[in-house]
Amino acid sequence: MRMSFWEYQGTAHTGVARVASSMNGVHAVAYSPVGDCYINSMFTMMEREKRFPPVHTSVLDLKTMGMGINRLPESLREVSHDHNPDLIVVTQTCSSSLLQEDYGSLARQANIPNEVLIYAPNPFRVEEDESANGLLTVMVEQFAAMKLPPTSKPSVNIIGPISLGFHHKHDLLSLQRMLETMGIAVNVVFPLGATVADIKKLPQAWATIAPYREMGADAAIVLEKMHNIPAVTSAPIGVVATRKWVREVLESLNKFASGNGLTFDLKEPAIAAFSMDQKSAPSGLPWFTITADVQGYSSKKAFVFGDFTHAVAITRMLATELDMQIVGAGTYNRKLANEFRELVKPYTDNIICSSEFAEVRKAIGETLPDIVMGTQMERHTSAEFDIPCATISNPTHIEDFSLSYQPFLGYDGSNFITDRVYHTCTLGLEKHMIEMFGDAGLGVEEARLKANERGKIQVAPEPEAREQELEAYKIAEELRAKATQLAVESGAAVAVKAPPVAAITAELVWTDEAQKALKQIPFFVRPKVQKRVEEYARSHGYSLITLDLVYEVREKAQQ
Amino acid sequence: MTIAPDTLPEIPEAEVLREDNGYHAFCGLTCTGWLYQKMKDSFFLILGTHTCAHLMQNALGVMIFAKPRFGVAMVEEGDLSAPQIDITDIVKNIVEEHNPSIIFLLNSCTPEIMKVDFESMARRLNQQFNNVPVLPVRADGLEYTMTQSEDCVIESLLQFCPVAPAGDKRIVFMGAVNDVNTTDLKREAEKLGLPVAGFVPANTIGELPAIGPDTILAPLHPYVAKSITQFSRLRGAKVLQSQFPIGPDGTRVFFEDLARHFGKEINLAEREAEIWRNLESKVSAIRGKRIFITGDNMLELPIARFLRKCGAELIEVGTPYVNRKFHKRELQALNGLRVVEMPNMHRQIRDIRELKPDLVVTNFWEANPFEAEGIATKWSTEIIFTPIYGFTGASDLANLFARALNRHRKLDVLDWKEFLPNNQEN
């Protein structure tokens, strides 16, 4: 029993849903109370998924429980009828797992032609990533057992990109760009966009790329064991790691070729070949770090937290390539803790493997870094301590599913990450100026914005501000009148819309009641509403703003 | 339930079809999302699992502050075999950290299946923390959908409402609505000479109104049936049976019926007409449109009634639950329409694809996929978080639907159809 305000991951069925939602012709059926279907909204809202999520809730409710009815067979028939998928994955959630249903026999009762896979890990033990990762492994074991002859040209599988993965779609694009430069074809991407038939094709690749340790690496290793297809499980994040990865991929392919009597010798392409224009350095990071203002980064302290892959790679990249001091590094993938410690030990002594955000918060509070690279939760924590923060890992907000190309992997990724770090940190030179000469009023503005961001109540303008506003209003009115006059005189085709004749009298006074009503309006629209009410009052010749007047304006709904 | 002396005319009602509960909706826990904000001195403690915690942070996009006034006492694997679930330390922490006036203890599916004796757990905690009441609230998804649990929360508040003496004839509005709406409804009632005692829930426990035999309980929305019946049974209060004050039409009926309880015959026809005149630009966007409501938040009946008044054609009105007695007046206004209780979502999707409505009012996970198929949508959840009540709320209400419809109308001139999903390969 513990108190939870917030979790880094969802539960096992979220992982299953993510796999199904990534694929084509695969449907998940979760035997659960109706509310557990909330995960579907993550696909359609966060990632703006175009399809109805292929995740069906087989509703467990009090009525059916009382009657001893299980709807699962009926749900399977419904899914079979509506979607006719190649594969249905049956899973459970916390509450339904307690009922210890025999899913195998229930699935047989459904009597449907579709293949059914029961994948119901213990939701009290297995979290989202582990569950999805486990399902990928099971699918490989089950559907990729048949040996196939290798493709005639060098090709690789990419295992790991998944629905709701952190920048995964962009990562995939970055990998594909690099592979194309290297003259390597992509055999299968799994699970994103894959079908069951695609899984069956996995054994014909020369190597498997699985950049995410917590998502898909195990499936790649299983494939290696089954068919001797080398698995490349390092993450090409940062320039050094990317270059190493390129060589590792080439080596694996050459090794596979010689082991299978294929005459192929792939060479590392020239560095410029990886760039967008084929002429320049594919990553601007090496030059960027030695430019004058970035040299100051060597004194900056960074704190890194996230999933295993991103936390390890960003720690290494910040420490070695951007020359920052790592004051803390951690991951919420607790089951990979030992491996994590081993990998980040060279960069920091302060290692946190925990799924309790409060622990991470405490560590940030104690180290007070200059920059935090973390999840959505560390963003909240950092705002509290007033430390700049960039997201480098799930869980994240909707804005991390960007329209523009923002990969983390590869040379393209190194540029994006560097930009993200740079935009997050206080600028080098500007910071020196501020330290020397004060903030020239910038700080005031910033503080005001920050206060707004944090949902602090904005105070209504003071009387003198209101006077200024009135003054500004007068001036605006005069200008508009002038413009209209000019337009009329010059016979302009477009006449400026005549303003309402405002009865600008003395200052407006708000009654206490009306002020209270104004305070009930959410802070972020309050100034707009205030302005609207005051304009209305002026144009109707009121000098006293009453509660009734506030609602009269609302009623008139002048949007 | 004591029904007011006003004799209800026998008006035909919409027939309600009942389906198989295959709908998708959030569970009762989600009411925490708005109720903890409404009741500023409360703490909502959910006895649940990791899934419940994940739901709370995802479903409503609830912002996490340093110290949110809600949390999940998480049942972990070890607790499943423990002789008794003990949350004393957790409650102790909440009391020390937050100092709430009241703690709502919400159940969830897992403890429900474990047969945790919730009431006695709350009783024990009340003995230990005798200065902070701990109230058990049923909110599990085995039985309750998102808004229904508000009813359970309100029900538990009666003990904090002072007893009003006989002869204290004032109105108590029931249902959580935001302060912009409460101020407005109170103002509107007082303008009509109808005395208001207050609102349940109120912003703080101390502000809860007195309720007694002459109180008139006025429900603001369709999901307070259980609590209003309880209040009326235990305190002898009268229950207003009317339409809900949603839309100019419903608001007018609501206040006219309310006035009758005070022996006043008022006619708000002109007031209603004025509001409709103000709304004309929005109503014209809705008029003649074919609208399908899939149903998940229980506001569907009054919303459908309002849309029908706007001149829309309602193809189907789905709703999780209909209480024929409590929703009588709304059902009368919907006579002739297809109202489906506990609709099957999959059947609805099939129907919507075939019927191609101009607008589908639906949940978070169906909205974008329908849009991808070229069908305009409006999120149902947005309706819950919009101050739509009363005469002044009507503009926000109309806006919700007009905006969605207008947006699609305006797209036609941009000539970019090829960019949209239903014209794309994948």
User: What percentage of chain A carries pLDDT values higher than 90?
Assistant: 66
- A11 to B51: CB separation less than 8 angstroms, yes or no: yes
Among B51, B375, B424, pick the best mutation site for testing chain A contact (most A Cβ within 10 A). B51
In contact, B184 and B133? CB cutoff 8 Å = no
Number of Cβ within 10 Å of residue A272's Cβ equals 13
The H-or-E segment that residue A135 falls in is helix A128-143
User: What percentage of chain B carries pLDDT values higher than 90?
Assistant: 83
B143 closest CB neighbour out of A48, A62, A125: A62
What is the sign, positive or negative, of the torsion defined by CA atoms of B274, B279, B280, B283? Answer: negative
Q: Is B310 one of the annotated binding-site residues?
A: no
Residue B42 pLDDT exceeds 90: yes
For the record, the structure tokens of A479 come out as: 């200008």
Which of A201, A184, A191 is CA-nearest to residue A169? A191
pLDDT digits (tens, 9 = 90+) for B121-146: 999 999 999 889 999 999 999 999 88
Residues of chain A found within 8 Å of residue B399, distances taken between Cβ atoms: 557, 559
Return the pLDDT at B7.
Answer: 55
B110 closest CB neighbour out of A3, A45, A98: A98
CA distances for A202 relative to A144, A207, A498, angstroms: 6, 10, 70
pLDDT digits (tens, 9 = 90+) for A522-547: 777 788 888 889 888 988 888 889 99
φ/ψ of residue B210, rounded to 5: -75, 145
- Average pLDDT, stretch A179-186? 97
Of the given ranges (A428-432, B94-98, B282-286), which has the lowest mean pLDDT? A428-432
The H-or-E segment that residue B259 falls in is helix B247-260
Supply the DSSP symbol for B378.
Answer: E
B392 closest CB neighbour out of A7, A11, A555: A555
Residue A445 pLDDT exceeds 70: no
Query: pLDDT class for A6, splitting at 50, 70, 90?
Result: confident
Return the pLDDT at A389.
Answer: 94
The H-or-E segment that residue A3 falls in is strand A2-4
In contact, B207 and B39? CB cutoff 8 Å = no
- A41 to B59: CB separation less than 8 angstroms, yes or no: yes
Sheet holding A26-32, edge to edge: A55-59, A26-32, A87-92, A115-118
Which of A85, A320, A87, A342 is CA-nearest to residue A213? A342
Burial of A109 (0-12, 13-18, 19+ CB in 10 A): middle
- Average pLDDT, stretch A139-161? 97
What gap in Å lies between CA B345 and CA B296, rounded to an integer? 10
> CA-nearest residue of chain B to A7?
B54
Residue B253 pLDDT exceeds 50: yes
| Helix, strand, coil content of chain A in percent (nearest 5) | 50, 15, 35
pLDDT digits (tens, 9 = 90+) for A56-68: 999 999 888 888 8
- Average pLDDT, stretch B292-318? 97
Return the pLDDT at A454.
Answer: 42
In contact, A254 and A264? CB cutoff 8 Å = yes
- β-partners of residue B314 are B291
- B23 to A34: CB separation less than 8 angstroms, yes or no: yes
Residue A184, by phi and psi: left (phi above 0), alpha (psi -120 to 50) or beta? beta
pLDDT digits (tens, 9 = 90+) for B140-185: 999 998 899 999 999 999 999 999 999 999 999 999 999 999 999 9
Which of A191, A189, A138 is CA-nearest to residue A164? A191
- A3 to B93: CB separation less than 8 angstroms, yes or no: yes
φ/ψ of residue A388, rounded to 5: -65, 145
Among A454, A555, A556, A559, pick the best mutation site for testing chain B contact (most B Cβ within 10 A). A555
Supply the DSSP symbol for B3.
Answer: B
Q: Is B152 one of the annotated binding-site residues?
A: no
- A33 to B27: CB separation less than 8 angstroms, yes or no: yes
User: What percentage of chain A carries pLDDT values higher than 70?
Assistant: 85
In contact, A208 and A223? CB cutoff 8 Å = yes
Of the given ranges (A153-162, A277-286, A510-519, B220-229), which has the lowest mean pLDDT? A510-519
What gap in Å lies between CA A236 and CA A172, rounded to an integer? 12
- Average pLDDT, stretch A449-454? 48
Return the pLDDT at B60.
Answer: 61
Of residues A13 and A398, more confidence is placed in: A13
B49 closest CB neighbour out of A94, A384, A517: A94
pLDDT digits (tens, 9 = 90+) for A71-120: 999 999 999 999 999 999 999 999 999 999 999 999 999 999 999 999 99
> CA-nearest residue of chain B to A95?
B110
Return the pLDDT at B117.
Answer: 92
**CB within 8 Å of chain A, chain B residues 188-247:** none
What gap in Å lies between CA B77 and CA B195, rounded to an integer? 54
Residues of A marked as catalytic: 293
What gap in Å lies between CA A229 and CA A220, rounded to an integer? 9
Residue A456 pLDDT exceeds 50: no
The H-or-E segment that residue A187 falls in is strand A185-190
- Average pLDDT, stretch B279-299? 96
Residue B62 pLDDT exceeds 70: no
- Average pLDDT, stretch B400-412? 89
- Residue B401 touches chain A, beta carbons under 8 Å: no
Which of B168, B177, B176 is CA-nearest to residue B195? B168
- B64 to A50: CB separation less than 8 angstroms, yes or no: no
pLDDT digits (tens, 9 = 90+) for B9-40: 688 999 999 998 777 788 999 999 899 989 99
Please measure the distance between the N-terminal and C-terminal CA atoms of chain B and give it in whole angstroms.
56
Query: pLDDT class for A556, splitting at 50, 70, 90?
Result: confident
> CA-nearest residue of chain A to B387?
A521
- A34 to B112: CB separation less than 8 angstroms, yes or no: no
- β-partners of residue A89 are A28, A117
**Strand, coil or helix: what is A90?**
strand
Residue A435 pLDDT exceeds 80: no
For the record, the structure tokens of A497 come out as: 């819309």
In contact, B33 and B60? CB cutoff 8 Å = yes
Residue A458 pLDDT exceeds 50: no
- A1 to B368: CB separation less than 8 angstroms, yes or no: no
- Residue B145 touches chain A, beta carbons under 8 Å: yes
Of the given ranges (A131-140, A181-190, A529-538), which has the lowest mean pLDDT? A529-538
Return the pLDDT at A502.
Answer: 35
Rounded to a whole number, what is the distance in Å from the CA of A34 to chain B's nearest CA? 6
For the record, the structure tokens of B412 come out as: 């036609």
Query: pLDDT class for A498, splitting at 50, 70, 90?
Result: very low
- β-partners of residue A32 are A59
> CA-nearest residue of chain B to A65?
B142
Among A34, A48, A84, pick the best mutation site for testing chain B contact (most B Cβ within 10 A). A34
Residues of chain B found within 8 Å of residue A4, distances taken between Cβ atoms: 50, 53, 71-74
Residue A439 pLDDT exceeds 80: no
Rounded to a whole number, what is the distance in Å from the CA of A193 to chain B's nearest CA? 10
Rounded to a whole number, what is the distance in Å from the CA of B7 to chain A's nearest CA? 32
pLDDT digits (tens, 9 = 90+) for A202-225: 999 999 999 999 999 999 999 999
- B110 to A95: CB separation less than 8 angstroms, yes or no: yes
Residue corresponding to tokens 């059916």: A64
Please count the CA atoms within 13 angstroms of the CA of B421 that sit on its side-chain side.
14
| Pair type for strands B16-18 and A544-545 | unpaired
Please count the CA atoms within 13 angstroms of the CA of B207 that sit on its side-chain side.
14
In contact, A139 and A169? CB cutoff 8 Å = no
Rounded to a whole number, what is the distance in Å from the CA of A460 to chain B's nearest CA? 17
3-state SS string for chain B: CCECCCCCCCCCCCCEEECCCCCCCCEHHHHHHHHHHHCCCEEEEEEECHHHHHHHHHCCCCCCCCCCCEEEEECCHHHHCCCCCCCHHHHHHHHHHHCCCEEEEECCHHHHHCCCCHHHHHHHHHHHCCCCCEEEECCCCCCCECCHHHHHHHHCCHHHCCECCCCCCCEEEECCCCHHHHHHHHHHHHHCCCCEEEEECCCCHHHCCCECCCCEEEECCCCCHHHHHHHHHHHCCEECCCCCCEHHHHHHHHHHHHHHCCCCCCCCHHHHHHHHHHHHHHHHHHCCCEEEECCCCCCHHHHHHHHHHCCCEEEEEEECCCCCCCCHHHHHHCCCCCEEECCCHHHHHHHHHHHCCCEEEECHHHHHHHHHCCCCEEEHHHHHCCCCEHHHHHHHHHHHHHHHHHHHHHHHHHCCHHHCHHHCCC
pLDDT digits (tens, 9 = 90+) for A478-493: 665 565 555 555 544 4
For the record, the structure tokens of A187 come out as: 């055999």
- Residue B279 touches chain A, beta carbons under 8 Å: yes
Strands (E), B296-425: 313-319, 339-341, 359-362, 377-379
Mean per-residue pLDDT over chain A, rounded: 87
Which of B145, B146, B136, B207 is CA-nearest to residue B172? B207
